[in-house]
Structure 1
Amino acid sequence: MEFSLIKEFFGWRDAVDILGLTLFFYLFIRFLYAAKGLYLLRVIILFGLLWTSAEVLNLATLSWIFEKLWTILLFALIVIFQPEIRRTLANIGRRTKVLKIKEYEERSIDRLVRACRFMAERQIGALIVIEREQNIEDLLEGCIYIDAYISAELIITIFYPLTPLHDGAIVIRDDRIAFASCVLPLSKNPELPKRYGTRHRAAVGITELSDAVAIVVSEETGEISVAVEGNLEKILDPELLKDKLFSLLGVKHES
């Protein structure tokens, strides 16, 4: 008698409804925890399939949740995935806007490389961001306006420990040092090695959101690295750094 009552009031649709509800909360918690680009696509697809299945199978509880809470979920997606959304919009803007191409001279690259060599040999930490086509000013915080010619001495002085501007990045634009002491967005890429500190994560972060080139000199090891498009590459020799910058910035050797 009791089994027949249970069977009458609890059918297979109710079991599927409960399983779907459990899957919904599991995905939602995972989505709060992970919050990464590729995972975002998977979550949206799974949520869409879950919602569609709930409607097709007439699962009352799950359908009610999706119908009543879709605006909250949409707002949560926008807030939690704000870095990914911002990155996407930046990439769209980079493809659609008429962008000014920055021009750099060989002598400026030589001075940059000389400064990096000096700081690497003495393990002076540094972070140098070079604009290419995209203006990155809206991605920066706390900058001090400089607008000075590029010189190895000035770059070394800025990053020398205990000086007022050493903690932060310098930004080079149109063959000039435009800003110093800039705070950059940090990368949230979980695949970055844990040994990378704030400078390296900032270098990767700014290149994930723009087409800029970032140079990092490690304070711990003196190693030089270059970040482009979210990828960080260790440079074993300053001459290789010069060739790398020539290639990335479209600089031709003077005859």
Structure 2
Amino acid sequence: MEIFEFLSYKDILDILGVSAIVYAVLYFLRITKAIQILKGLMLIALVWVVALFLDLKAVSTIFEKFWTVGLFSLVVIFQPEIRKALSRLGQATKLSPSTSLEERVVERIVRACSFMSERQIGALIVIERRQDLEPILEGCVSLDAVVSVELLITLFDPLAPLHDGAVIIRGNRIAYASCVLPLSKSKDIPRRYGTRHRAGLGISEESDAVAIIVSEETGEISVAVGGKLHRNLDPEGLKSLLFKELGIGK
């Protein structure tokens, strides 16, 4: 095509750079749900343009000061979201393979969740993938134990000292128990879901981890991944979803 005859490698790099910046901004807006604030800023910018067009000097001066202070304020306000976005963006471009689970380990997790579901034992199991979860975990008890059906059930027994909090599975081992996870601030979570579901969603929003939640009220099994909740799964549905998300059997 003729257009490429007028493009140098610098022009191509320039276009790719702008595309990357636009993608990063759109990605940030999507995962932080900041689109409403963007609409507000666009409205303010429109008012500013009108003020300039009508030569309203006082209003124009106020808006000029607003942009100077406002940009710094946005950085402060969105500091947690910016950190999360950069973390997720970096994770998305990471080239190293994730720590994979063996099929038999996933089957043990499914069997344990099925047992607890039938007896309405609450549970929260988080499977770590590419992203290291340690920076966003609190209050964990280190285990480094083999994943077994019996151990998972024992850890979430209501009378067990470690039953509150989440179990973290790293590779083919249980790395931590009784972990406190960041809670989701989403307003779309049904009221019938409590702290356990909010924690599962929260860790899936902050990282690429897969969280399995067993409700102690209903025995319902759910999986949180990528900030979305897959509800009311039976053991076969849970196994199929975990195999898909963890890349097992491809």
The TM-score normalised by the length of structure 2 is 0.79
Taking the TM superposition and a 5 Å limit, the aligned residue runs for 1:108-187 are 108-187=105-184
The structure-2 alpha-carbon separation of the partners of 1:96 and 1:237, relative to structure 1 and needing over 3 Å to count, comes to closer
Counterpart Cα distance in 2 of 1:188 and 1:134: 21
Task: Report if the CA contact (8 A) 1:87-1:209 is conserved.
Answer: yes
CA distance in 1: counterparts of 2:116 and 2:71, whole angstroms: 47
Change (3 A) 1:218 1:68: same
Aligned residue among 185, 190, 193 for 2:187: 190
Tell me which moved more, 114-123 or 233-242.
233-242
User: What is the deviation of 1:63?
Assistant: 2.9
From 205, 210, 214, give the equivalent of 1:213. Answer: 210
Amino acid at match of 1:86: R
User: After the TM superposition, which of the residue ranges 144-153 and 61-70 deviates more from structure 2?
Assistant: 61-70
Distance 1:211 1:61, change over 3 A: same
- The equivalent residue for 1:90 is 87
User: Counterpart of 1:80 in structure 2: which amino acid?
Assistant: I
Letter of the structure 2 residue corresponding to residue 226 of structure 1: V
Q: Which runs of 5+ in 1 are unaligned?
A: 1-34
**Distance in 1 separating the partners of 2:141 and 2:63:** 48
CA drift at 1:145: 1.6
Letter in 2 for 1:225: S
CA offsets, 1:163-197, max 9 Å, x none? Answer: 22211111111111111111111111212212211
SS at match of 1:181: strand
Give the SS at the match of 1:133: coil
* Cα distance in 2 between the residues matched to 1:245 and 1:191: 24
Letter in 2 for 1:241: L
Equivalenced residue count is: 219
Matching residue of 1:58: 55
Larger radius of gyration: 1
Equivalent residue for 2:64, pick from 63, 67, 74: 67
**C-alpha displacement of 1:69:** 4.2
- 4+ runs of 1 displaced by more than 6 Å? none
Aligned with 1:246 (options 223, 243, 246): 243
TM value normalised by structure 1: 0.77
2:40 aligned partner: 43
Mapped to 2, the partners of 1:53 and 1:205 lie a distance apart of 42
> Aligned Cα RMSD in Å?
2.2
In the TM superposition, what is the alpha-carbon distance from 1:58 to its structure 2 partner?
Answer: 3.2
Q: Please, which runs of 5 or more residues in structure 2 have no aligned partner?
A: 1-31
d(CA) in 2 for partners of 1:123, 1:76: 46
Counterpart AA for 2:99: K
In 2, Cα distance between the equivalents of 1:78 and 1:141? 26
Task: Tell me the distance in 1 between the aligned counterparts of 2:185 and 2:36.
Answer: 13
Query: Hey, what's the Cα distance between the residues in 2 that align with 1:62 and 1:142?
Result: 51
In 1, Cα distance between the equivalents of 2:59 and 2:122?
54
